[in-house]
Structure 1
């Protein structure tokens, strides 16, 4: 659900870039009296104006005429704020009347053009983002054509329709999205990449509440057309518009958007520091790891948020053919369920024991954090073979971005021998997540690493 709350922030940031560039260019015109300090003040006043004018509300739904009216309203608020600020700040905010006219006139035209291009290309752009949400549509034949076309073309849909299941038409086909048979729905949602399920079914003949529950148990958001049921459901929900429809979204968690932004900032800052440490450590570790003739970095496809595949990096701590030998060691697996772990693993090299005990093998994962595949704190990403054995209940641990550390790592992971206990810890983290929880886990992780507790 976090994608919905970031639309206005993204729009405001794009406009702030336009404000800064335009103001900076106008410095060259002496009669505007604009100086560098003016640029910073105009940048700040833009965000204030954006908020008090309500410019971002219904941005993707309004037409060009309404957009013109909204732009004029926004510019009037901006002009008033500039005038008041110029009066009170005096020499700290210098701009002449002519400079103000130049700036606001040019900005109003450029901002209107910006809004036009954002609306035109946003749908294409957001579908190519790493974090674009994948939506599964569940509907009936009587509603398929109208709703599917809307969801494929509307700008305010927070993701892209990747699959559709028409419950009363098994032979349905479509040239733009995958078609999932009714009997394969749960399997597709469990082992495919699904961030959200959109339900548009007639209430007659379908148990909407059961449909919602089946996907909520996986940690997948469920959005329902309000016209599909006539009773209130007692779950956490958000009512909003999508593709011209009034819909309600059910989710096990609705997170604070400011905490989500703070988490990403924390990830980027932490990743930069971590990569610096990784670079220093690699000067000593790489020659030692490569003594057996293999590569220093171990790369493997892992499963990320809601089933996404990504390349996972670590310093290699095992012998070169470790993955081939794994099948022969499955009988010695000490973990019950969807994870492999064994004591005194013979595949671990001499240097591998050291870097595992000190957690130095994790350092290359800061690259995964920097590019957005992982977070500093989250759940551990499973391998493909582990993921293929997941039940719907276990998939819920993947409703959050995987992390280098997490609640499992600081809770005596060596003593945990049942994968369901790992899932319980992950779900407890997901259900109670705030940015402060991440700080708490990071501090405890430092203690665990320094004490060398829980690593084998």
Structure 2
């Protein structure tokens, strides 16, 4: 996923810089001697994207210092000025800007883009690593290779993410106040149970079988990055090479998704969530009083586990008795699922109105809020409960390498007939392995069909 992350970072940078361009263009348009036409601001906005990619201003964006940043912004604006001159010549009468207007714009845009870049870097350094969705990195290294790579991973300006743990294979006494130290024998359990998005390996290949580490973490669906100097290329499979803080590294992933599809998925999620919340609001007028007849709340809120082990609050219309979780332990003997999931026929905890909203899938509507804030997606894997997650094996954790969804391949494949959790995992892995935005659209259309026919839900 490394390449996709880089492309999405570029997209964020170019979009935020475009706000600075619009600001500069608007301010300059207020000067009469700038000689703007009605189309000038729109064309300047489009020229920004062209100049951004031609000047390659995004290269090593977060590792540049103040002076280097100013130089890169000036270079970008030189390309911008050339683009303005060429476009003004080619579109004479449609796009025009006076020489004074171009000087005003060059100076103000240089200032505005430079300030925007500094604000982005400040956010990345101070705020982004603390966000729940920030990339969590686990380091495996040896004493001889510790110092440089530890500093790189510990610096948000050099590596996009938060170092949350480290194992030093040849030093069990290693300690650090700012990072959790994990002993080698606890390493696999730590990665299975904690939030880990990427494992960074920097070990001497002559002393350690690095390919075994790669295989184990890949089986969980976790990206694995290895210092190229420590690896024998003869056994490399699906990989991407890049430079990080002066180190050449290769990243292994079970899947490299197209950045355009990842971006489209998020746009689809936002649009779908807004529409779904509108429906949820209308349905709530009728459902909320009916659900609350037994004296309990209308909404059910529960801790669930999302991408790579992140905890989040999961929302549904309440379809069970208020004491459903307490009763669950007495019903475990009637669980019809084999493995890490609870399900039973004619669950006595379900209320009369609960049976109706489950059969019609209306209980799922509040989850559109989870989709809107980014904890879930419209299509993905079913988010497990905390107790289910605690019993996951490393192989089962792979289903959490993808953001959980309201619907998914399992839900449209006859979910009531599946009684083995490993079969659920296989369906989830099949979905992730073949994922494209078109796959999501196909599943959404199938979901509409399943809901209208009231298939699979109990």
- Look up the match of 2:231: 229
Q: Is the 8 A contact 1:3 1:158 kept in 2?
A: no
- Look up the match of 1:280: 282
Residue 207 and residue 99 in structure 1: after superposition, are their counterparts in 2 closer, same or farther (change >3 A)? same
Q: Say yes or no: does 1:411 pair with 2:413.
A: yes
- Look up the match of 2:303: 301
Q: How far apart are residue 16 of structure 1 and its match? A: 0.2
1:173-209 CA-to-partner distances (Å, cap 9, x unmatched) read 1111111111111111111100000001111221100
Mapped to 2, the partners of 1:409 and 1:184 lie a distance apart of: 35
Mapped to 2, the partners of 1:400 and 1:42 lie a distance apart of: 38
Mapped to 2, the partners of 1:178 and 1:253 lie a distance apart of: 29
Mapped to 2, the partners of 1:40 and 1:178 lie a distance apart of: 50
| Alignment of structure 1 residues 51-450 onto 2, 5 Å | 51-153=53-155, 155-450=157-452
Mapped to 2, the partners of 1:91 and 1:119 lie a distance apart of: 40
Q: Which runs of 5+ in 2 are unaligned?
A: none
Mapped to 2, the partners of 1:453 and 1:431 lie a distance apart of: 26
1:370-415 CA-to-partner distances (Å, cap 9, x unmatched) read 0000000000000000000000000000000000000000000011
Q: How far apart are residue 310 of structure 1 and its match? A: 0.0
Q: How far apart are residue 431 of structure 1 and its match? A: 0.6
Aligned partner of residue 265 in structure 1, secondary structure: helix
What's the Cα RMSD here?
Answer: 1.5
Higher mean alpha-carbon deviation, 231-240 vs 113-122, is at: 113-122
Q: Is the 8 A contact 1:151 1:243 kept in 2?
A: no
Q: How far apart are residue 6 of structure 1 and its match? A: 1.4
| Alignment of structure 1 residues 13-52 onto 2, 5 Å | 13-52=15-54
Mapped to 2, the partners of 1:240 and 1:123 lie a distance apart of: 21
Residue 173 and residue 319 in structure 1: after superposition, are their counterparts in 2 closer, same or farther (change >3 A)? same
The TM-score, its normalising length taken from structure 2, stands at 0.96
Mapped to 1, the partners of 2:78 and 2:71 lie a distance apart of: 11
Aligned partner of residue 306 in structure 1, secondary structure: helix
Mapped to 2, the partners of 1:347 and 1:369 lie a distance apart of: 27
Q: How far apart are residue 39 of structure 1 and its match? A: 1.7
Q: Is the 8 A contact 1:135 1:159 kept in 2?
A: yes
1:212-233 CA-to-partner distances (Å, cap 9, x unmatched) read 1111100000001111123333
Mapped to 1, the partners of 2:289 and 2:42 lie a distance apart of: 49
Mapped to 1, the partners of 2:112 and 2:187 lie a distance apart of: 47
Higher mean alpha-carbon deviation, 432-441 vs 35-44, is at: 35-44
Q: Is the 8 A contact 2:132 2:310 kept in 1?
A: no
Q: How far apart are residue 103 of structure 1 and its match? A: 0.3
1:244-303 CA-to-partner distances (Å, cap 9, x unmatched) read 211110110111111100000000000000000000000000000000000000000000
Mapped to 1, the partners of 2:363 and 2:329 lie a distance apart of: 23
Higher mean alpha-carbon deviation, 263-272 vs 142-151, is at: 142-151
Q: How far apart are residue 437 of structure 1 and its match? A: 0.4
Aligned partner of residue 402 in structure 2, secondary structure: coil
Q: Say yes or no: does 1:10 pair with 2:18.
A: no
Mapped to 1, the partners of 2:299 and 2:119 lie a distance apart of: 43
- In the alignment of these two chains, the number of paired residues is 456
Higher mean alpha-carbon deviation, 55-64 vs 253-262, is at: 55-64
Q: How far apart are residue 153 of structure 1 and its match? A: 1.9
Q: Is the 8 A contact 1:154 1:243 kept in 2?
A: no
Mapped to 1, the partners of 2:225 and 2:297 lie a distance apart of: 46
Aligned partner of residue 176 in structure 2, secondary structure: coil
Mapped to 2, the partners of 1:328 and 1:274 lie a distance apart of: 35
Mapped to 2, the partners of 1:417 and 1:117 lie a distance apart of: 51
Residue 298 and residue 154 in structure 1: after superposition, are their counterparts in 2 closer, same or farther (change >3 A)? closer
